[in-house]
Structure 1
Amino acid sequence: MGKTTVIHHAPLVGYPDDKLYTVRVIDGVIDGIEEEVEGKYINGYDKASVEEIDLAGKEWLSPSMIDWHVHTKLAALHSNRLNLSNCQSASEVFESVKQALNDPKYDTSLERNLVGINMRNSNWTDEDLFSLEKMNELSIERPIFLLYNGYHSMWCNSLALEVGGYGSSLNHKGHLVEQEAFDMFPKLTTANNQVVDNWILQESKKAAAMGVTEIVDLEMEHNIVQWQRRYAAGNDYLRIHVGMYTPHIQDAIDLGLTSGDDVPHTDGLIKIGPYKIVTDGSLGSQTAFCHDAYPGTKDNHGIYYYPPESLSEMIETGLKHNFKFAVHAIGDYANHLTLQTISKASSKPRIGSTIEHAQLLDIEKDLPIFKDLGLIASIQPSHLVDDRDLCHKFWPGREHRAYAFKSIVDAGIPIKLGSDAPIAPMNPWEAMAVCITRAGQGDEKNPFIEAEILDLETAWKASTSNGKTRLEVGDRADLCILQSDPLKLDAAGLRAMKVNGTMLGGRWTHKTF
């Protein structure tokens, strides 16, 4: 007989709160949930061979958490880069970079390039200070990359442009947007795989400590071989769904793999994820593709990457090989064109396919199509906090259609929550807190479009790894031990949640006992 764990005197999230239960885990599966009767614990099993845990009625047992949108490598690199999120102007950015150039934390012996991240420009009045000349004034000896929040655009000095293959003869102005910025990502770091893999291992442990057992990794590189290497080196803290982009999808097809299949040599922990397609940009970089032009411009509607026939070909490739989809669409026009294209495909997308972000919507016209296609809205609530000022600046008069969580749910469309880490930190408790308040910590009395507040139970089910409110017999033993019942908490309580144990498939990936 395989490993057995029995958890006694356990209050269960989603069950009557005046009762205690015994939960039995055998070989990574929840084998039994029984309301406790005095002296009845494991029903005939030899206690000597069983791991027994007594919660004494003081800690709650629940399903574990999932994050449906993560850029794992980028998130690991994020913690080793210059965070510019608190800068209130371009001038402050330049001053922060000057200080960082003399800070041992960013010494060139650790990383030759200096990468600044998370510039938020919604309230800047001096953004026109940015230029290639100004970037070169910061340094002509070290490549400098300064990224806007969302990672859809960046500023570079001349050395950074050279890293990206832009010679002086190309007369580049130093501002990279969308595909140019994406193409630069693999060149932002000089750290080797061993260093980066260790950083990713630390991020995996942090995730486990928050109760997370599963993520959808949408990193923009060939991740099959990357995760095989990390798993072989001992990174087994999370279930990973490896997203596939167009340049990599043929590799999976050649291996005979599709969404949900096991990545070879990872013992079923790592699976092929969805086919990721990016159709437009982001609101902060004014590249999200919208029906209306951005304020102050005559014809800037953002960027839509593909004509309908090209996107249609990509959709048909995914359908032919039975892939789920994860289609990035932020602007309302991008969502409209994407939904229209998918609706004209040879068949409906595979169950479990998502529209990623779905931030700006034409609620009346597009939500019925969204529902009819059986798509999931994979949303990142914490972006709402970051983007609310951007919505007022770049989407005035349409804010009621931004981050329309309740409207999406009321239309009968399933939702799943994620972080888009590192664009926002991976933290399912923060994501749920934002859902039920439409505000950041300390600003709960100032919700962004109060009518779109989501109820806690819906947010909870969109966050759990089993997609349910509670644990049930037959579920994988992916579970958490929590300090309190999350379904009885307000936003402050969710944000303060302590996870005392995280189990993945019957083994502990985090525990404080």
Structure 2
Amino acid sequence: MTEFRLRAARPGPGIRRTLCDVRLAGAGSESVDVILEDGVVAGLRPAGSERVAGERVSADGRWLLPGLWDSHVHFTQWAYTSRRFDLSRTSTAAEVLAAVDGNTPPGVYGPAVGFGFRDAMWPDAADLAAFDRASHGRSVILIAADLHCVWLNSAALTEHGHAGHPTGLLREEDAFAVHRSLDTVQDAIVDGWVHTAADAAAARGVVGIVDFEMAWNVEAWTRRIAAGTIALRVRFGIYRANLDRAIADGLRSGQILPHTHGLLEVGAFKVITDGSLNTRTAFCVDPYPGSTTYGLLNVPPDELGPLMARARSAGLDSAIHAIGDRANSHALDAFEATGARGSIEHAQLLSPEDVGRFAALGITASVQPEHAMDDRDVAEHHWAGRTGRAFTLRSILDAGGRIALGSDAPVAPLDPWLAIASAVGRARDGREPWHPEQSITVREAIAASTGSGAAVVAAGQVADLALVDRDPYASSPDELRRMPVAATILNGRDTFSRL
């Protein structure tokens, strides 16, 4: 997708409100009153200069900016994550198994699920026998932080048709099949978790998400919105397994679906062409250290082009997952050959000659800056000598390209301020900035996080807004990471407020 085509979302027609004593982030320090009417920013006036009928809300000099989007999430998986035991602080296989032992008490039955391990830098090997001992007779499924790998004990391997596997580590499509098998919780329960996660996103200034959950998302989100989950706009992806169904139903990118208060929009056709860095399946020009493997190409070029051409002819944009430099070259080639519109999702490692192709082809680089902070050490090891062209946000922008920021939640938390901070500072946890030459400005990061590309609130915009306690343009990366949000407004109505 090249841009978000925001439309007014109901309920909300006829609402007239004035946000009083507001400072517009990125537009100076003068206070203004912001008039909201029928879901639109109807006007800006000097503070206190004109009284307009309707509700008046004092912002007490806080800063207002366009509402934030997360351009890449797996929202149901994100909602599930809080119900799974945490492995994110582990750094060895032994530490993972200690966490398993502590979360699978003897005498308790049923599968146990953990999330968040990263095995790319483990100093020790995955030991299936030790895993079985730590599991106390339970079936255990552990999901890697990048979602492209799972670790199953022997009981779980048998249940999922992989009995006899030597390590229990399953990757790519085998891992995705395990993910799908876990989606057995009743809709009403999952929808409740999703509702809570949506409210939590709104509390961080989020007004919209691009949901790439591996499912038929039309029914799920229509049901959720009808039940009252109306804190977010949702643009959903369509996977290969459902392409025929989407075409038969006449779905087209940008189409707003009926009976969803204007909140649910058809997104892009999603194809996962390669794997991930941590799983060492990102498809690269050079082999991985100590190996003759170059990663994994899930969808080769002779399949990718026809798939994208078919989607394009049906009115669907394409969102192509590509992480390794060779996978990105293939994806860009397919966009060029088919004339498809859309995005490359992740675009983590690029060949120098491909950086300028995003602008030339009008393709958005949909990137997740927090991944650079999570993966900097892994990248230095597995992409040694090439990290100067990893997560190249500055280079893409300087070449005239467009970027969109996201989290890939649950791979990183659904919080655009984390992405903004990492894009600007290229650092976290007190470490020195990593390849600071690829840093972007606060204005550029906010523009890449608002869906519309607007970094400053202006009259005529849809009234999707975030009110914050601190001026983002005068904040350090660490302050951006902890940005206090005072209110979030979707189509002129509050989805979160502590005013």
State the Cα deviation string for residues 191-238 of structure 1 (Å, max 9, x = none).
322111111111000000000000000000111111111112111110
CA distance in 1 between counterparts of 2:185 and 2:345 reads 30
CA distance in 1 between counterparts of 2:263 and 2:85 reads 33
Q: Tell me by how many angstroms 1:103 deviates.
A: 9.4
SS in 2 for 1:355: strand
SS in 2 for 1:436: helix
8 Å Cα contact 2:236-2:268 kept in structure 1: yes
User: Aligned residue for 1:121?
Assistant: 119
Structure 2 unmatched ranges of 5 or more:
1-12
Within 5 Å, give how 1:231-250 maps onto structure 2. 231-250=225-244
Q: Of 365, 368, 375, which aligns to 1:377?
A: 365
Say whether 1:340 aligns with 2:336.
no
CA distance in 2 between counterparts of 1:468 and 1:408 reads 18
State the Cα deviation string for residues 386-439 of structure 1 (Å, max 9, x = none).
100111111111111111111111111111100000000011111111111111
Say whether 1:91 aligns with 2:71.
no
Q: Of 417, 422, 426, which aligns to 1:438?
A: 426
SS in 2 for 1:271: strand
Q: Tell me by how many angstroms 1:23 deviates.
A: 1.1
Q: Tell me by how many angstroms 1:173 deviates.
A: 5.1
User: Aligned residue for 1:130?
Assistant: 127
SS in 2 for 1:266: coil
Q: Tell me by how many angstroms 1:4 deviates.
A: 0.4
User: Aligned residue for 1:220?
Assistant: 214
Say whether 1:40 aligns with 2:50.
yes
Q: Of 72, 75, 81, which aligns to 1:72?
A: 75
SS in 2 for 1:180: helix
SS in 1 for 2:64: strand
State the Cα deviation string for residues 65-95 of structure 1 (Å, max 9, x = none).
0000000000011111111121121111111
Judging changes above 3 Å, is the alpha-carbon distance between structure 1 residues 39 and 289 closer, same or farther for their aligned structure 2 residues? closer
User: Aligned residue for 1:510?
Assistant: 496
8 Å Cα contact 2:356-2:396 kept in structure 1: no
Q: Of 378, 383, 387, which aligns to 1:390?
A: 378
Q: Tell me by how many angstroms 1:480 deviates.
A: 1.4
Q: Tell me by how many angstroms 1:190 deviates.
A: 4.3
State the Cα deviation string for residues 93-144 of structure 1 (Å, max 9, x = none).
111100111299xx65xxx321121112344211x2433x333323373221
8 Å Cα contact 2:358-2:396 kept in structure 1: no
SS in 1 for 2:297: coil
Letter in 1 for 2:371: H
Q: Of 23, 27, 31, which aligns to 1:20?
A: 31
User: Aligned residue for 2:391?
Assistant: 403
8 Å Cα contact 2:101-2:136 kept in structure 1: no
Q: Tell me by how many angstroms 1:251 deviates.
A: 2.2
Within 5 Å, give how 1:270-349 maps onto structure 2. 270-297=264-291, 299-345=292-338, 348-349=339-340
Say whether 1:55 aligns with 2:55.
no
State the Cα deviation string for residues 330-370 of structure 1 (Å, max 9, x = none).
0001001111122122xx223xx11110001112x112322
Q: Of 139, 145, 148, which aligns to 2:141?
A: 145
8 Å Cα contact 1:465-1:478 kept in structure 2: no
CA distance in 1 between counterparts of 2:412 and 2:452 reads 23
User: Aligned residue for 2:22?
Assistant: 10
Judging changes above 3 Å, is the alpha-carbon distance between structure 1 residues 261 and 248 closer, same or farther for their aligned structure 2 residues? same
Deviates more, 1:378-387 or 1:243-252: 243-252
Within 5 Å, give how 1:171-182 maps onto structure 2. 174-182=168-176
Structure 1 unmatched ranges of 5 or more:
none
Task: Provide the TM-score with structure 1 as the length reference.
Answer: 0.91
8 Å Cα contact 1:113-1:189 kept in structure 2: no
CA distance in 2 between counterparts of 1:248 and 1:20 reads 50
RMSD value, Cα: 1.8
SS in 2 for 1:426: coil
The higher relative CO (CA closer than 8 Å, separation ≥ 6) is in 2
Quick one: percent identity of the two aligned structures?
37
SS in 1 for 2:105: coil
CA distance in 2 between counterparts of 1:326 and 1:3 reads 36
Deviates more, 1:227-236 or 1:65-74: 227-236
Say whether 1:490 aligns with 2:486.
no
